[in-house]
């Protein structure tokens, strides 16, 4: 949303695009794969103490709905999301996913690309999770330990490991409408 205003304390002028948001429920994928949260935001917005990191990883991965992972990956492809990393995916203990920080979609923003998502193999974000940032963007050897974020690869959730043209009905309807409009 575009606003024109001034800061209430400093008086500095504000003239630009701003983004308003709510807290995402759960924890970021990055948080639970790297260390584990001390606190989590529940669906009602309250903060609670987080479970042990091992228990959290186990529970969340078992609870993830493969259809939601596929829809999230298709969302990133359809809208050209170019910054979908583990800090931009929040998950709850019951397997709900919330995608945040969508400002790098539609080819706008600091990075011009078609898609860059931890759920899309071959993209930079996926490759960083698989091999490590120091290897992809530096000169270090690839990491040997598996980062469990690679389990969000959409192929792990698609029947037979591929989508082909087996899209969810609403997605199929949307792309058919888009194809007819062009």
What pLDDT tens digit does each residue of the chain (182 aa) get? 778 888 888 989 888 877 677 888 888 888 878 776 677 777 788 888 877 777 778 888 889 999 999 999 999 999 889 899 999 999 988 889 999 988 787 766 666 788 899 999 999 999 999 999 889 988 999 988 888 899 999 999 999 999 999 899 999 999 999 999 97
pTM of the model: 0.79
Q: Which two tokens stand for residue 153?
A: 């690869």
> Which tokens hold the place of 14?
């504000």
Would you state the pLDDT for residue 22? 82
Q: What is the DSSP letter of 84?
A: B
By the 8 A CB rule, do 104 and 76 touch?
Answer: no
What number of CA atoms fall less than 13 Å from residue 37's CA on the CB side?
A: 24
Domain of residue 22 covers: 2-181
Q: Per the structure, how many domains does the chain have?
A: 1
Q: Is 150 exposed, middle or buried (0-12, 13-18, 19+ CB in 10 A)?
A: middle
| Residue 44: per-residue pLDDT | 85
166-178 as b/e: b if 16+ CB within 10 A: ebeeebeeeeeee
Distance CA(77)–CA(73), nearest Å, equals 6
Question: Which residue intervals of the chain are DSSP H helices?
Answer: 29-34, 53-63, 66-78, 124-131, 133-136, 169-181
Q: What is the largest CA-CA distance in the chain?
A: 59
The predicted structure's pLDDT at residue 177 = 94
Amino acid 36: pLDDT: 67
Alpha carbon distance 178, 182 (integer Å): 7
Q: Is 16 exposed, middle or buried (0-12, 13-18, 19+ CB in 10 A)?
A: exposed
- What is the predicted pLDDT for the residue at 150? 92
Q: What angle do CA 119, 121, 126 make, to 5 degrees?
A: 65
Question: What was the pLDDT predicted at 74?
Answer: 95
């Amino acid at each position: 949303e575009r606003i024109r205003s001034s800061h209430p304390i400093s008086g500095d002028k504000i003239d630009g695009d701003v983004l308003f948001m709510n807290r995402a429920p759960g924890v970021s994928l990055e948080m639970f794969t790297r260390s584990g949260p001390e606190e989590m935001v529940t669906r009602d917005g309250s903060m609670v103490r987080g479970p042990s990191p091992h228990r959290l990883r186990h529970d969340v991965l078992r609870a993830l709905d493969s259809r939601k992972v596929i829809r999230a990956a298709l969302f990133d492809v359809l809208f050209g999301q170019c910054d979908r990393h583990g800090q931009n995916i929040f998950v709850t203990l019951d397997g709900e996913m919330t995608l945040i920080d969508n400002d790098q979609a539609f080819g706008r923003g600091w990075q011009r690309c078609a898609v860059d998502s931890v759920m899309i193999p071959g993209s930079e974000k996926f490759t960083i999770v698989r091999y490590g940032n120091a290897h992809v963007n530096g000169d270090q050897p690839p990491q040997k330990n598996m980062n469990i974020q690679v389990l969000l690869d959409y192929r792990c959730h698609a029947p037979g490991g591929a989508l082909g043209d087996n899209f969810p009905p609403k997605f199929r309807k949307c792309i058919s409408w888009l194809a007819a409009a062009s």
